[in-house]
Amino acid sequence: MRNRNLLNRRDFLKMGATAGAALAGVPLLQRASAAPTRRAQPEATINVLTVGDPWDLALQNVADQFTEETGIGVNIESLGYVALQARLVNSFLTQTADADVVTVDQMWISQYADNGWIRSLDEFAAADSDTEIGDFLPEVLYSLSTWRDQLWTLPIAAYAQGIMYRTDLFEAAGLDELPATVAEAGNWTWERYFEILEQINGMEMDGTNFFGSVVIGAQPVPVVHMYTQLAASYGTRWFTQFPDAPWDFTPTINTPENLAALQDWVRLYNWSPPESINYLWFDAGTRFSEGDIGMFYHWTPYFYLVNNEGYLSGTPSPVVDRFKTAVLPTRTAGGEQTVSLGGWSLGMPSTTEKQDAAWQFIKWATGADAQKAMGQVNVAGFQFGDFSRLSLYEDSDLREIYPFLDTQLEMMRLGNGKIVRPPAPIYTSLEGVYGLNLNQAMTETVTPEQALETTQTLFQNILSGNNMIPYGVESFDDTLENAVALIERLSS
């Protein structure tokens, strides 16, 4: 019998403070990808820098197909998140031709584009009809790849957020299955979500004592990824006006909506393992796959990752065939939903001298054929279902492998990455402040009210100090509708 509830939460926080500081900001696969990996270099080669997320392993397994089709060799170097960001910024600042294709996080695109570090792909996409840019989900291109009415990258892996829950535990508790589609949602609200968590927290089944949920608590970056989904569902926005024009970056963090979200976030932590105060993305998903978590929400890659006991271990987890996925609840019954939409895309550094070859790889790797091949890679289990193209959600072969695609598509369609985690040019600095204060509210070092008041003040200081309040640069009306118009222009 497992009973992890015995550990005193406050004692754990004291014990884990040093470990938490060491892990803070270390992303999903840094530990799994600490050392760069290189493929053998053919005679004519482009260099591609990637990050060690699940899609990277799938891409490396099919990259030879690109060489067979084009005669262009590919050297893929995979780095951890922090190492990748440092490597890219250093090469951009020194104008070093370090790579021909680079992986861009959703949050970096404004900085990279505004500084001229990556090339616009408008000309390339417009010239090649086989890019089939109209097949991409507009919400994904809008959230990951467009900035100031230009296309800068193409999505290689798109992540929304959704729910995973233990069906056997729900059955034992007399609970109905959760809605897999918005049409089925009815009265599916966050209030109901919390009622269920309170009911299943502490339940015992088959010798296991269950926590109601699990959270990502490590600061500064990981906790922001999970918390902001709850906050966005409650109606929280970071700024007075963004991405709609005219841009006004006066912060709107300290609001009644965000206070309600943070108070409920602290409740979520109280129904989670105490050690989750230090959890990274990977830790939360792995904990669910260990079999003592009832329900949680997370990035959609975990819809398939939790089938492994450990990260891509190849060993089936105890939850296989015992969990299902569901759409996120809303603040009020039938209310509007804003889903966090993030992920990775491929861009072209302005320093590369191999523009045509780099474009051919970007177009190929994000194309429907290559993406399907990645989805069919079965190494330590199937590990890539993070599709950006509508045609792949309709593909019968992929639907058989990934039965949750309908739910994932519903969440993608409600996604808006520019609202939930807005890619302002100094986002990284703001995220660092936000994550620290969220973590302190979880540890009860400060109250939720104090955490938001401090965050608001520091946001104001950072934004003013970087000449973003008042904002003197020309704005762009960065709406989904304008992104759709851009897609139509590039497709014509």
User: Is residue 346 classed exposed, middle or buried when 0-12, 13-18 and 19+ CB atoms within 10 A define those classes?
Assistant: buried
Q: What is the pLDDT of residues 207-256, one digit of tens each?
A: 999 999 999 999 999 999 999 999 999 999 999 999 999 999 999 999 99
- Residue-wise DSSP of 431-453: HHHHHHHHHHHHTTSS-HHHHHH
Return the CA Rg of the chain: 22
pLDDT, residue 44, reads 83
Q: What is the DSSP letter of 469?
A: T
Q: How confident is the model at residue 3 (pLDDT cuts 50, 70, 90)?
A: very low
Cα 406 from Cα 81, distance rounded (Å): 29
- Residue-wise DSSP of 83-144: HHHHHHHHHHHTT----SEEEEEGGGHHHHHHTT-B---HHHHHH-GGG-GGGB-HHHHHHH
| Mean pLDDT on 104-116 | 94
The fold of 45-159+342-415 is: D-Maltodextrin-Binding Protein; domain 2 (3.40.190)
Q: In DSSP terms, which residues pair with 248 in a beta bridge?
A: 241
pLDDT, residue 36, reads 35
Cα 373 from Cα 376, distance rounded (Å): 5
Q: What is the pLDDT of residues 330-386, one digit of tens each?
A: 999 999 999 999 999 999 999 999 999 999 999 999 999 999 999 999 988 898 999
pLDDT, residue 393, reads 98
| Mean pLDDT on 446-468 | 97
Terminal-to-terminal C-alpha distance of the chain:
62
Give pTM, 2 decimals.
0.90
pLDDT, residue 15, reads 38
Q: What is the pLDDT of residues 16-66, one digit of tens each?
A: 333 333 333 333 333 233 333 334 444 489 999 999 899 999 999 999 999
- Note every long-range contact of 61-70, with CB atoms under 8 Å and residues 24 or more positions apart, other chains counting: 61/374, 61/377, 61/379, 62/370, 62/373, 62/374, 62/377, 63/39, 65/370, 65/373, 66/361, 66/364, 66/365, 66/370, 67/42, 69/364, 70/357, 70/360, 70/364
Q: What order of strands is seen across the sheet that includes strand 153-159?
A: 73-79, 45-51, 101-105, 342-347, 153-159
Q: Could you identify the residue written with the tokens 């990951």?
A: 144
**Residue 184 pLDDT greater than 60, yes or no:** yes
Q: What is the pLDDT of residues 196-206, one digit of tens each?
A: 999 999 999 99
Greater pLDDT, 121 or 85: 121
Cα 327 from Cα 297, distance rounded (Å): 9
| Mean pLDDT on 392-397 | 98
User: Is residue 448 classed exposed, middle or buried when 0-12, 13-18 and 19+ CB atoms within 10 A define those classes?
Assistant: buried
Could you tell me if 40 and 246 are in contact, meaning their C-beta atoms sit under 8 angstroms apart?
no
Phi, psi of 488 (to 5 degrees): -65, -40
Q: What is the DSSP letter of 6?
A: G
| Mean pLDDT on 63-72 | 96
pLDDT, residue 180, reads 97
Q: Could you identify the residue written with the tokens 């609840």?
A: 329
> What is the SS3 assignment for 378?
strand
Q: What is the pLDDT of residues 139-171, one digit of tens each?
A: 999 999 999 999 999 999 999 999 999 999 999
Cα 196 from Cα 201, distance rounded (Å): 8
Exposed e or buried b for every residue in 277-301, given b needs 16+ CB within 10 A?
A: bbbbbbbbbbbbbbbbbbbbbbbbb
